[in-house]
Structure 1
Amino acid sequence: MDSDGDTLTRDHQRIHQEATLLAGAITNLGQRASVYHHLFECSGGRNVFPLIAAHGALWGAGYFALGMRVGALLSAQFLFSPALRQDKLRQLHAFADAFREINRQVCVEAYTAYHFSRLHGQAQGATRFLQPRLLAALDACHRAQALGEPLSQPERRELFEAFFLWEQAAIVGPAVERALAALDWPLIRQVALRPRIEFAYFPSSRDMKFADFASTAERIEKGMRAYELAERAGLDRVEHALRDYGVLPAAFFRDSLAHFRELRQRLDLPAQCPATG
């Protein structure tokens, strides 16, 4: 008979493997947006982090495409050094892929954390798999859902902040440092460190232009600002604004639950219990 620890390990591995399949390849930003949305929908709208992450994935799809075009234009400065030009463009593609990989990893961990805590959040030993603050915030979300109660705005903020701070420390920060260290193109580096984040639900992107994306403090400040703007706009409006990027298919907006079920079927994953209120 399995011990409790064996059960937790087995289920965590199973959910993580499932999450990895669902997150897709690094370029599957639209697919990841639908997975992020599933987590928001599955929580009955209580877990706001994945809804905002869905905006990040969809905005990123356009931003990376624009970055590639800008890079191709700027590479003209190396027109008479074809080998150097190819090397700079290779670095640019690797840099963009590093950020797509960040998005993929965050999706995997967000899915794993949510569904693992849904199964085993109260189990002794769960903190071996999830950071305690994040686990406590997810447990509050699951508890409210089980009781059919809303999650208060302070509780929603705590859940968002707990996951956001964890992913910045565990995934984003180290990956950004590695990506920047590998980019030997000062002009592109300067542009890359000063993005203007323009999620579809923002009333204005004026306050969302980075001075230095390498700054952990600034990434946290901007991330929490994105959350505050979502609450101010209203989560229904934020959810509806996912269509503004023109990336997700019409089938998603007709029936997002069916769209996610079909994704699971294509990946030969077992049926999953639907979201509850």
Structure 2
Amino acid sequence: MSDWGEISVNNTKQLKEDGLKKRIFNINAFAGIDRNGLEFRNIERQLLLYTTQQGEKIYIQYPGKETKTNDINRIRPWDFRPKLKLNNGCYIKDLSFADIWDDLYGIKELQKETLAILVTVFFRMAFMIDTEPVCSECCFMDMNLLNQVEAGRGIQRLKWYSYKPNTELMKYLNQTIGKIRGASIEAYLYYNDLLVQNEDCKYFYKDTHINEKKWNTKAGRYNTLMTHISVIEFLQGNMKFSQIMNKFQRGRGVAPVTQKSLYKASNGLITK
């Protein structure tokens, strides 16, 4: 594990405060994306946000299904979904969190070192440690889904905190984990990062605009990625099946790892 000491994390109050500021910044950035003339299942836009070392492309596509509902309490106007285009031109299917947990189960035979590193990667993602502020000129393409034709192209300016994982670490994980659903681990992590970004946008809107209360900062990015870690904790043999099921039941679909479990799950890479 000493080779990856550079990704070790001290789980401090300052870390959480810095991460929260970045989350709020990104929520506002994605809320401000131009959506004029777009409609779910009619005219949708694909915005390119990431290209991997292996040539895969990760987009967000919007508006999402939660932008169109007759129930005002369920509408989420900033909803989008990530799209992952493999380097052969094919897209992977839209993934649910259950799909991702199945994928994690599929890599359960990995060495303990690799699983511990993946725990640390998800933890760092939860607090947006490996992000950088960028002002990007992102290419987009509009699609008329009713007629199955392209409806236009352009540029969207986006100032946001972009996920920038360690290049050598991505090479290591690509070698040790291999591909998931035909995608490199780098692409898969970008996809996950955008998935939890959308969760942040939706929960923030629900709390502050619909319910007119303070945002529950554990909902969204934090609880989802911490649940990924709980799944790995189970795969490591550090938790019984009944224990993780109870966590999911109590958490109503999420099962965030406890703070005291992080040190063991990360093999010491995450400290108090």
Normalised TM-score (structure 1): 0.30
| Structure with more strand by fraction | 2
Answer with 1 or 2: which has the greater Rg.
1
| Structure with more helix by fraction | 1
Normalised TM-score (structure 2): 0.30
